[in-house]
């Protein structure tokens, strides 16, 4: 059965979401067009969708009209639904013979507890499929005009969460090692502890004037980007009343926004600086 109504994929057919299965699907960072075709195929078949706070509601318009929609949101360390309860609810739904879609923001395996949910399902004998998504730390920065890697800037990226399981600044992060080793740092869930994090990075040797971008509601029509520095990030974010969800990028990649802010250009803003790294030669020349 192919109830997805999608044009067939080259050389094959779309997978069927069978009763008793759970598909863990990444919805991407917000803009519905950033969900994958496998994700859309899942939405067209699921008879129950368990979705998170950061899933853009418009994406659910693609679901079957008769599908049950179950909100399992958790925001800012306020667990409105306990992880254990969500995982076991997924098990129950699958064991009741439903076609279950677990829809998560971004990528299910990037700071999204998708691994834990998937493990619980497997431990209970529930068959799963994982559909990756575009993570906010990559796609969200792209919408802000920030390339997460660039040959003149970085050969590595460090992805961090600003919360640990208790909601505190993660003590499992070795801030001195990050400061020394991370060329570009991309932080999820970093707003609550931004003061502690920026101070830890500066204490460990990062330059106070290192560029920082804070991208809120990335990829959505009300996306905002604040450009600041490590030393000024906290005050500037407070002055601009920056609210989560936000991705924080620390590093010279932020400078590229001066030439690559394509959403700004679409809105008619001029290019601020065609050569923000000061290379003095065209980008196509090595
Ligand atoms: N699995 C998700 C991340 C979940 S953790 C992913 O791969 O993107 C939740 C954090 O993701 C938020 O606190 C924020 O830091 C980030 N985030 C998710 N969507 C975002 C968006 N549209 N704009 C900015 N940050 C976002």
**Domain end call among 134, 169, 203:** 134
Provide the pairing of β-strand 185-188 with 246-250. antiparallel
Domain for residue 17, yes or no? no
Residue-wise pLDDT for 198-242, tens only, equals 999 999 999 999 999 999 999 999 999 999 999 999 999 999 999
**Orientation angle between helical segments 114-123 and 83-95, nearest 10 degrees:** 40
| Together in a domain, 245 and 144 | yes
- Identify whether 44 is part of a domain: yes
Mean pLDDT of 250-261: 98
Where do we find the tokens 């001195």?
A: 176
Lining ligand 1 with CB less than 6 A are: 29-30, 54, 104-107, 110-112, 135-136, 140, 188-189, 215-219, 244-247
Q: Is residue 244 part of a domain?
A: yes
d(CA 79, CA 59): 23
Return d(Cα 115, Cα 94) in angstroms, integer.
17
Does 179 map to a domain? yes
Would you call 24 helix, strand, or coil by DSSP?
strand
We report the CATH number of the domain holding residue 129 as 3.40.1010.10
Query: With helix as H, strand as E and coil as C, how does 220-251 read?
Result: CCCCEEEEEECCCHHHHHHHCCCCCCEEEEEC
Question: Residue 222 Cα, ligand 1 centroid: separation in angstroms?
Answer: 15
Which token pair is 184?
């570009």
Query: Taking the CB of residue 67, how many other CB atoms lie within 10 A of it?
Result: 18
Among 24, 36, 52, 54, residue to substitute to test ligand 1 (most atoms within 8 Å of Cβ): 54
How sure is the predictor about 166, in pLDDT bands with cuts at 50, 70 and 90?
low
Q: Which residues are the active-site residues?
A: 52, 74, 189
């Amino acid at each position: 059965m192919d109830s997805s109504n999608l044009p067939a994929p080259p050389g094959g057919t779309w997978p069927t979401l069978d009763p008793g299965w759970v598909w863990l699907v990444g919805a991407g960072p917000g803009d519905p067009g950033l969900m994958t075709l496998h994700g859309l195929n899942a939405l067209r078949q699921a008879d129950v969708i368990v979705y998170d706070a950061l899933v853009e509601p418009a994406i659910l318009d693609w679901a079957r009209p008769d599908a049950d929609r179950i909100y399992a949101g958790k925001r800012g360390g306020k667990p409105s639904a306990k992880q254990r309860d969500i995982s076991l609810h997924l098990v129950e739904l699958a064991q009741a013979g439903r076609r279950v879609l677990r829809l998560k923001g971004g990528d299910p395996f990037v700071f999204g507890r998708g691994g834990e949910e998937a493990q619980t399902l497997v431990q209970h004998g529930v068959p799963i499929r994982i559909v990756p998504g575009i993570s906010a730390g990559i796609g969200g920065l792209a919408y802000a005009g920030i390339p997460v890697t660039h040959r003149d800037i970085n050969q590595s990226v460090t992805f961090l969460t600003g919360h640990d399981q208790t909601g505190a600044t993660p003590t499992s992060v070795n801030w001195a090692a990050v400061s020394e080793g991370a060329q570009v740092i991309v932080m999820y869930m970093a707003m609550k502890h931004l003061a502690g994090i920026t101070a830890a990075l500066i204490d460990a040797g990062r330059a106070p004037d290192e560029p920082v971008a804070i991208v809120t509601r990335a990829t959505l029509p009300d996306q905002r980007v604040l450009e600041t520095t490590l030393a000024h990030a906290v005050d500037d974010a407070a002055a601009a009343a920056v609210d989560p969800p936000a991705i924080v990028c620390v590093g010279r990649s932020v400078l590229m926004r001066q030439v690559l802010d394509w959403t700004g250009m679409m809105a008619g803003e001029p290019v601020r600086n065609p050569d923000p790294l000061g290379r003095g030669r065209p980008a196509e020349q090595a």
